[in-house]
Each structure stands twice: as structure tokens, then as C-alpha cells.
Structure 1
Amino acid sequence: MSSITSGVVDQSSAMLAADYDSRLYNNDLAPTVAAQRTWGTYNYIALWFSMSMEVTTYMLASSLIAGGMNWKQAILTILLGNLIVLVPMLLNAHAGAKYGIPFPVFVRASFGTRGANLPAMLRAFVACGWFGIQSWLGGQAIAAMIAVLWPATAHAPSVLWASFLGFWLLNMYVVWRGVESIRFLQSFSAPFMLVMSLTLLFWMLHKAGGFGPMLSAPSHFHTTGSFLRFFFPSLTAMVGYWATLSLNIPDFTRYAKSQDSQIVGQAFGLPVAMVLYSFIGIACTSASEVIFGEPVWSPITLLGRFHQPLAALLALVALLIATLNVNIGANVVSPSNDFSNLAPGLISFRTGGLITGFLGLAMMPWKLMSSFGSYIFGWLIGYSGLLGPVAGIMVADYFLIRGTRLDTVSLYRRGGPYEYTRGVNPRAIIALAAGVVVALIGLAVPSLRLLYDYAWFVGFFVAATSYYFLMLRYRPVTPHSPNS
């Protein structure tokens, strides 16, 4: 018999007796057992601090300053965006903690045992893009460190490309070591990153001559209308930044000791870490305008402006560790499981991680980060229109249709309650298509651009509403079982 402790279901007995389908099951996709539930509140706080304190978060915040906001407006936008995305994050985290299942297995409940590959591949595609971006930024940090020690290499393309490939290989090594190496890396690096980030902040504070000059840059928006035209797309981008993790958070909460540990850890860790590190990015960017006469939105470029080699070297090491943390935690765990879900008998977590790495190279990340405008209004908002509808369907299915009850064994079988039509739930596909089309139609129809500016929100609510009403007539019933 399975046991329930603090909202966590131990699936070990049920799965050992299950006649599972090898096409839907391997050790990496199997529900976690009690011995694997090792993540406490601190681990989830450390997860968010380690994933938030990295270069793209800094650049996300600094881009708001470059776009015309003052520091108060930027902080408010970031805080609000992260509080909004925390809601679907915690809702989707519930199933991972309760049943010990990863995202690609959880999404089988709504999309079907075969249909789940569609949202899993959407999430994996975005993760590959992020993996490439983070690897490129990590390579830039290594190249900048080499330039500090050996100035003659500062403008040598071969050094940058060698650094990029070297950092990519380092990521692959951590993937090969497995998920427990991720927990170890994040546990010791989170407090280290906090100390190093605060050191950078106070260094820039000293150079700028105090908080007054550092935060003196005024808002460039002189009317409420002009501010709102920039604010709402920026808010969507803030939500889009973690729209990826709001889907695959079960990949992490499946290791939770209890529901409380993941809820408290995430509710504290996500908004606090993002606001803290975003403030550092905002303050340092504002200070750069005082010191250098122009805002420098990239911390790597900013550090290269200083002539204190030891300070620059230590800061770049901190950036490198942070980039490694977030690349593994946010951009490898999910697509590795997603690719494994395509062919569980052939693709393991390690193999899925290698696939992610090679696709990340193929997506040419140096083009995705060509400017802060393409980063915010192209990349972040664009993919939020793809992932918002998936999140809406998952939340509507798990909470509104099923009341948080899943037949876990049937998630690994064909022909059960999640078979739908040959393994695909056509209602979920229709709802997904409706959400994506409405969210992204503003790209093709200028008069509907407002829908694109709200892409994540529009996609989420259109897909969730469509799915709910389509499924009311279907009314799936999860049978009573010791594992539900």
C-alpha cells in the first residue's frame, strides 16, 4: 500500500506492481519514491536564488532602465510579474510534489499519453534556446576573464569561441553527473552568489558616489499613456521569463519532502531572489550612466570597463557560476525529461541532456541576444505566447476538471483513462491552438498588436477557458485507487 505524508504520495508499491508500457516508462520518468524525496524548504529557496542570480536576470532588469523606466518603476514591474507567474508555478508544482511525477508525465493527463509530446516539445524547444543563450553568455564571461589576465586577447574571436565551447562542455559534464549534482551545486553556490552580488553592488555604489547619484536616472515617460505602452509588454516579458519553469516545475517538486516545503520555499525564494538581484542590475546600470556617461546593460561589458583586475576577475567568476547553475537547473532538466518522454526505452536523462546541448548550439544564441529589444519584445514575449496556453490547460485540467486526483499508474499505460483518441486528447489540441493563435495573431495583424503585448495572459486564459468548456461534456472520472 502507498502512504501519504504531508500531501506526498509514495508510489513505490503501486509502480512495482504495475504492468507499465515500456514506451511510456523508464527510470528517469518513474514516480519518485520516499528515498528520493530529499528536497526541503532550503533547497527550493536555494534553487530560486541560484537560478535568479545570473546574467539574463540582470539584463532583464537593466533593459527596463535602458527602455526608459526609473528604478522604482522597474522594481514594481519585476515584482508584479514574478508574483503573477508564482501562481501557475505553485499550481503546477502541486502534482509533482503529490505524485512524484515529472512534467512530461503530468501533462499526459490533459493531452493524452501520446499527445503530451506536443507541449513537452514546445517546452523543450524554448529550453534549448535558453541553453544556447546561457552557454553563449558563460563563454563571454570566460573570455572576459581571460582578457583581464591577458589583455591582448580582448578582441580575439578565437578566444571567445573557444570559451563558448569550453563552457558548453562543462555544462555537459554536470548533466552527465545527474540531478543530485544539481542540488549539491545549488546548495553551496546560492549563499556565495548572494555575497558576490552584494559586493558588486557596493563596488558600483562607491564608484558612483552613493545611492543618490546611482539611482538618480529619471523616467523617460512623461505621460501615463506612454508609460503604459511600455509597461504592459514589459510585464508580459517578466512573466514570460519564468513561463518555462511554471510548466516543468514538477521536475523539481517531485523530489520534495512535503507540499509545505516546496510551497514555502518557492513562495519566498522566487519573488525575493528576483527582486533582490534585479535591483542589483538596475542600480549597477543606473550607476554606469553616472560613471561612464551611458547605461551599460550587460554586466560582462560593465566589468570590462574597470581597471582593477582582481575585482573584475572575482565578479566574472561569480557570473560564470551563476550561469552554470541556471543553465543546468532551468534549461537542461526539463528538456532532458521531455526528450526522454519521446522514446523512454532509448533516451535517458543523460541522452536528453546531450540532445539539448547540441540543439542549443544549432539555435545560434548570439543572434537571439543581439539587442535588449530583441531579447524583451521578441524572444521573451514571443515564446510566452506558446507556453501560456499550455499552462492554462494544465491548471484547468488538474484543478477544475480532476480536482487534483490522478490515476498515476494509468499515466504509464496505453488504453486507460488518459488514452482519449489513440493517445491524443483532441480537446487539448484545439484549446492549445486557440490560445496560441489569439496570443500571437498581433504579429501578423497590426491592429491586434495589443493581444501580442499580453501574449502570455491572453494565451493562458483563452486556452484554459476553451479547454474547460470542451472537457465539461467529456467529464473524465479518475477511479479510486491507493495511489490517487
Structure 2
Amino acid sequence: MENQELKQRELYRSRGYNDDLLPKTEQQRTWRAINYFTLWMGSVHNVPNYVMVGGFFILGLSTLSIMLAIIVSAFFIAFVMVMNGAAGTRYGVPFAMILRASYGIKGALLPGILRGGIAAIMWFGLQCYAGSLAFLILIGKIWPNFLSLGGDFSILGLNLPGLIAFIIFWAVNVMIGFGGGSVLNKFTAILNPCIYIVFGGMAIWAVNLVGITPILEYIPTGVTQNGNSGFLVLVVINAVVAVWAAPAVSASDFTQNAKDFRQQAIGQTLGLVVAYILFAVAGVCIIAGASIHYGVDTWNVLDIVQRWDSLFASFFAVLVILMTTISTNATGNIIPAGYQIAAIAPTKLTYKNGVMIASIISLLICPWKLMENQDSIYLFLDIIGGMLGPVIGVMLAHYYIVMRGNIDLNVLYTKPGDYKFYEHGFNTTAFVVTVIAVIISLGGKFIPLLEPLSRVSWFVGVIVAFGLYALFKGKTPRASIEKKPAGQN
């Protein structure tokens, strides 16, 4: 088996593929359940997710309904992560290569760039800037005069302390990105217990302040329920799951390291479910408890820790929040971007080249300027997320229904210009299905009649794409799918 794997890698290497994109050998697949258990904790407990919990209260749902919806979301997320990561586990290959099976050698570039290029790079820059604001709080706690350095100096609207904090935090994120999954796993192993201490401790702090009953009865000022409660719970579930649209698409970037399917399935399921149970309880208790205690709706955990009198407690809490931001940025943004950019030109670019290119672009887009118009940002990113749901649907239908869990790697790792399947390297059916699913799931943002569907856009996109692709391609013989177009050798 080992000699066969080495021969296979040498063959693909001779075709111009760099080692970062080659199938992992059995010796390289070392991740067990515990590695996946620790991996996702930091991606759940971050500032944007806690702000999102505050947004759920605006819907007028009860505290228990919100908790339940968040916990149920974890099972959907885990299911998609496990199932869409199965191909990566079986063949030891990253998302950029798995995507070729569904969309074609050339066709994979468009959804790949959408996920690993546009969405990942933009989110990477925004997360770096958001994290740098927390870093400024941390520095200000230790060195108050730092916040006044440079006087009126500013570059593109960013003052000197802000620029220094951003560059330092950006550089730390880039270094974690260079280290890839192995460094990230060590980082999250340290982070994991700190998350339990900080966010679990904050939940206990909030309950001790105001009591559990007021928290369970909390409703923000001036809020009344708008709509059917059952549908609103589904809206909350969709919102939580949609946050994982991008990581779920590229799950194979991490499952390619798994020792076997069972290890990644158990690890990801337990990791996500446990993380979201803690997040559901802690998030609701912290947001509701702090809002009641301070007499104003306070939905940002950074605003809460800034009010604390204890320097040590606020310092430690902000430090852990910074670490969770780094973890989120690595798993959801910079690592997928590195692999995808490398896949654009596999004979010339490596994973580390991809990380560097993505990092530089994230600087050039000046994320602090983009944050000035948050509505436009989130509309843009929401649309991209809505497009990735259908991509997941197509990938799942292709792997499980059409290919029945079997992929010929020689077809994926073809010679440049030698498109062994799909006419001209494009799977037209996949693109047509994706476009139809996107229109149905996101049409409500522009067509009032479809508005209810847009509120559960991720589910609609995945289900429609899966169903249509299975219908159109499910009866197509595999031989015809992998057959070379006429005129090719």
C-alpha cells in the first residue's frame, strides 16, 4: 500500500502538482477524534457569533428557544462537515482537488475562487481588523499612553496605534496560516481549555449578577415577536448554519489529515455539538445577563469585558477572544485561501505562496475602510454565502449519488490541458443547477414573493441543488462522466 501511494504521488508530481496538493500518505494522516474535537471550539466562540446572538433576541424569541435553535444547528453543521469531508478522508486530498470532480478541471476554479479567494480573503482582512480592535483594548489595559501615540497621524483613516495593532495582529494570523493544520491543531489544543474558563466563567458571572429567572425572561427593549415562532426558530438555525457555509464547502482541507472516517466523524460531531452547547448557554446568559445588569442592551462581549474592574480578568478574557479570532481566521479563511490559490496554478504555486498572496491582498483592500459601510459588506458576503450552499449540494449529490463514493484520482490529477471528463473541463449541469439554486435561495432579497425562502437561504440552496443535480445526473453512467471528450488522447 505504501509503495503504491508513493508511486501515485510521484506520477502526479511528474504532471506538475506540488506536494501541498498531492494525496496524503497513510503516514501523513495522523489526525484523530481529539484533534477535530479541539479544532472547531475556537471557531464557535468569537465576537461576531456573540453579536449574532444579540440579533436573535430582536426576533422576539424566548431565551430557551434561542438556546435550543443554536444547539440544533450544531447537528446540521456537524452532519454537513462530516459528509462533505468524507471524500477528503478517503482519498487524502484537499478541497481544491475534490471540487474538480463535481465542476470539472477548469469549472472548479470559479466556485473555488469564490470560496477560497473572494470570501476567504475578504473575511480574513475583516477578522484581522476586528481582532486588532480587541488587541488595542489589550494594549490599552497595560499601556494607556499607547492609545495616543502619533497624535493626529493617520493613513487611509487609520491612526498610528490602530495601524500598529492591525499589522501585529495580521502578522500573527499569517504565521499561523503558514504553519497550516499542524500548527493550528497545537494552537487550538492550548486555546480549548481557556475558552471553557473564560466563556463558562462569564456565564456564571452573569447568572450570579442577575439570577437565572430574569435571564430566561429577558426581552430587549421595544422588541415584539414578528412572525410565526416555529419559522423564526428555523431562521435562527439557518443563520447559525450559514456561518459555516464556507468551512463546510472546504471541509476536505482538514479531513484530508484524518486517520480514518470514524475519527473525523466522531471528532467533528462531538467537537461542534459540545462547543455549541457551551456557546448557546454562555452566549444567551452573557448577553442577557450583562444587558440586564448594565441597563442597556449590550451584545458585544468586548464592550462587556471593558466594563470590568479587574485588570487581570479583562486582560485574560480579551486575550482568549483574540486567540479565538485567530483560530476562526485560520480554519475559515487563510488555510482554505492558501490551498485554493495554489490550485489555480499547481505547477507554479505552493500552499505557502497562496497564504502570502491572500495575506497581501487582505492588506491592500484596507479592511478598516470596508468596515465603514458594514451593511454593504454583509450583503455582499451574505450573497457569497448563499452561493456556497448550492455548491455543497452539488458536491454531496455528485459524490454520493452519481459517483457512489468512488473517485478516480487519475482523472483529478490530470496533465495540464488534458481534460479527462466533461466537455472542455466544465460540468455544465453543475453550473446550471448552482445558478437555479442560487436564484431560488437568494431571490427573496430582490423579489418580495421569495422573501421567506431567502430567510432560510442556506437550507433552500443545499436542498434544491442536491435534488436537481441528483435528478439530472443520477442516472448518468459513471463511464460517460469520466470519459475523455472526443479528440483527446
Residues 61, 279 of structure 1: 8 Å contact kept: no
Q: In the alignment, which residue of structure 2 is the partner of 1:6? A: none
Cα distance in 2 for partners of 1:379, 1:353 equals 23
1:319 and 1:155, CA in 2 relative to 1: closer, same or farther beyond 3 A?
A: farther
Once the two structures are superposed, the pairs formed by residues 226-241 of structure 1 within 5 Å of their partners are: 226-227=228-229, 230-241=232-243
**Residues 193 and 259 (structure 1), Cα distance of their counterparts in 2 relative to 1, 3 Å cut:** same
Q: Does structure 1 retain, via aligned residues, the 8 Å contact 2:38–2:271? A: yes
Question: Deviation string for 1:126-172 (max 9, x for gaps)?
Answer: 22232123212210111111222234556884323321221001111
Return the letter of the residue paired with 2:181: V
Residue 387 in structure 1 maps to residue 388 in structure 2: yes
Q: What stretches of structure 1 of length at least 5 have no aligned partner? A: 4-9, 480-484
Greater shift in the superposed pair: 36-45 or 320-329: 320-329
Q: 1:411 matched to which residue of 2?
A: 412
Alpha-carbon shift at residue 181 of structure 1 (Å)? 1.3
CA distance in 1, matches of 2:237, 2:382: 9
SS in 2 for 1:203: helix
Matched with 1:14 is 8
Range moving further from structure 2, 243-252 or 346-355 = 346-355
Distance 1:222 1:171, change over 3 A: closer
Aligned to 1:132: 125
Change (3 A) 1:69 1:185: same
CA contact (8 A) 2:64 2:216 kept: no
Amino acid corresponding to residue 403 of structure 1 in structure 2: R
**What are the within-5 Å matches in structure 2 for residues 26-175 of structure 1?**
26-124=18-116, 125-151=118-144, 157-175=159-177
Contact 1:20 1:412 (C-alpha < 8 Å) held by counterparts: no
Offset, 1:237 = 1.4
Matching of residue 396 in structure 1 with residue 388 in structure 2: no
Tell me how far 1:416 sits from its aligned partner.
7.2
Q: Write the distance in 2 (CA, Å) between the matches of 1:292 and 1:152.
A: 28
Which residue is 1:7 aligned to?
none
> Quick one: distance in 1 between partners of 2:163 and 2:280?
29
State the aligned residue count.
469
Residues 277-288 of structure 1 correspond to what in structure 2 (within 5 A)?
277-288=279-290
Match of 1:313 in 2: 315
Cα-to-partner distance string for 1:186-233 (whole Å, 9 max, x where unaligned):
222212222232223233333x24333444414877668354564443
Paired position in structure 2 for 1:176: 178
- Paired with 1:391 and 1:324, the residues of 2 have a C-alpha distance of 25
For residues 262-288 of structure 1, give each alpha carbon's deviation from its aligned partner in whole angstroms, at most 9, with x where no partner exists. Answer: 000011111220231232122111111
Q: 2:335 — aligned with what?
A: 333
- Secondary structure, in 3 states, of the residue corresponding to 2:40? helix
Structure 2 segments unaligned to the other structure (5+ residues): 150-158, 483-489
* Separation of aligned partners in 2, 1:269 and 1:183: 13
* Aligned match for 2:356, one of 350, 354, 357: 354
* Aligned-residue offset at 1:371: 9.6
Question: Aligned partners of 1:407 and 1:292: how far apart in 2?
Answer: 60
CA distance in 2, matches of 1:373, 1:275: 30
CA 1:272 to 1:137, structure 2 compared with 1: closer, same or farther past 3 Å? same
Q: TM-score, normalised by structure 2?
A: 0.88
C-alpha offsets along residues 4-29 of structure 1, whole Å, 9 cap, x if unaligned? Answer: xxxxxx8434333457532xx21111
Instruction: Name the Cα RMSD after superposition.
Output: 2.7
CA offset at residue 242 of structure 1? 0.8
Contact 2:41 2:275 in 1 (8 A): yes
Structure-1-length-normalised TM-score:
0.89
Change (3 A) 1:459 1:368: farther
By how many angstroms is 1:120 displaced? 0.7
The equivalent of 1:265 in structure 2 is: 267
Identity of aligned residues (%): 27
In 2, Cα distance between equivalents of 1:326 and 1:354: 18
Q: CA shift at 1:420, angstroms?
A: 0.9
